[in-house]
């Protein structure tokens, strides 16, 4: 199983709502990532978890709150978002964020398309 | 100027044509990815390169570390190859930097 799953596929929320995005992988990967992608732009890295600990936070506003409950799950909690946060949110995983070998690769999920009204 | 530049930005081809997409970067890297993103958003990792050349089916990726340049080639292109192809480099600091992508459309 080389699949990264994300739910929901689409999400519409108001600026006062609280919602969560979920990501799951069962490949035994120990590194998981959240990316944000605006239309026609490349993905931007938001957070990296390594062995269930937050290792990289790319200066993301506190209205985005990541959580890694276990090695297979990664959540992104959303609160008081702005319309400009509307984007595709991509989750990815890899064997180990530090073990950079020829076979290392990131596996991406299909994304959650978020619209903030 | 972006640290990772791709060319062309847009590419159209007839089915069967040989396609080349280029990626140039200006930072020291430990590896380079080629990614494929279909409409709807999902990204597939095609290759990870640190030197030389790799081949998967009709796809070939090459990298020249001295020239800081990589190419992705698609032989015998097919309409299902239509997607955005993204080059991403792993900087020596472990940061991943993405190129702006090349939008490919292959017509039957």
What pLDDT score does B50 carry? 87
Q: What is the pLDDT of residues B52-82, one digit of tens each?
A: 999 988 999 999 999 999 999 999 999 999 9
Q: How far is B62 from chain A (nearest CA, A)?
A: 14
Task: Write down the pLDDT at residue A54.
Answer: 85
CB contact (8 A) between residue B41 and residue A113: yes
A96 at the B interface (CB within 8 A)?
Answer: no
Q: The tokens of A26 are what?
A: 């069962």
Residue B50: its chain A contacts at CB < 8 A? 102
pLDDT on residue A77: 97
Write down the mean pLDDT value for chain A.
87
Which position has the token pair 């490349």?
A42
Residue A78 and residue A84: Cα distance in Å, rounded? Answer: 13
Which residue would you say has higher pLDDT here, A35 or A56?
Answer: A35
Nearest CA of chain A to the CA of B42: how many Å?
4
**Torsions phi, psi of A83, nearest 5?**
-55, -30
Q: Output A37-41 pairs: Cβ under 8 A, ≥24 positions apart.
A: A37/A87, A37/A88, A37/A89, A37/A90, A37/A111, A37/B41, A38/A87, A38/A88, A39/A87, A40/B101, A41/B100
- The predicted structure's pLDDT at residue A56: 73
B92 has a chain A CB within 8 A of its CB: no
User: Looking at residues A20-25, what average pLDDT do you find?
Assistant: 97
Distance from CA of B98 to the nearest CA of A (A): 6
Q: Which of A101-105, B17-21, B96-100: highest mean pLDDT?
A: B17-21
């Amino acid at each position: 199983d080389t699949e990264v799953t994300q739910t929901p596929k689409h999400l519409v929320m108001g600026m006062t709502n609280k919602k969560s995005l979920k990501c799951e992988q069962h490949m035994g990967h120990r590194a998981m990532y959240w990316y944000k992608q605006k239309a026609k732009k490349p993905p931007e890295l938001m957070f990296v978890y390594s062995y269930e600990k937050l290792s990289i936070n790319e200066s993301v506003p506190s209205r985005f709150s990541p959580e890694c409950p276990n090695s297979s799950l990664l959540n992104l909690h959303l609160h008081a978002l702005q319309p400009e946060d509307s984007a595709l949110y991509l989750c990815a995983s890899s064997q180990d964020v530090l073990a950079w070998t020829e076979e290392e690769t990131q596996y991406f999920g299909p994304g959650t398309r978020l619209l903030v009204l | 100027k972006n640290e990772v530049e791709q060319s062309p930005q847009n590419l159209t081809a007839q089915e069967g044509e040989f396609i080349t997409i280029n990626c140039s970067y200006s930072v020291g890297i430990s590896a380079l990815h080629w990614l494929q993103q279909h409409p709807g958003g999902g990204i597939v990792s095609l290759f990870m390169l640190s030197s030389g050349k790799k081949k998967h089916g009709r796809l070939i990726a090459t990298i020249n570390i001295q020239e800081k340049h990589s190419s992705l080639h698609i032989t015998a292109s097919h309409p299902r190859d239509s997607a955005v192809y993204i080059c991403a480099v792993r900087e020596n600091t472990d940061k991943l930097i993405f190129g702006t992508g090349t939008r490919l459309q292959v017509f039957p």
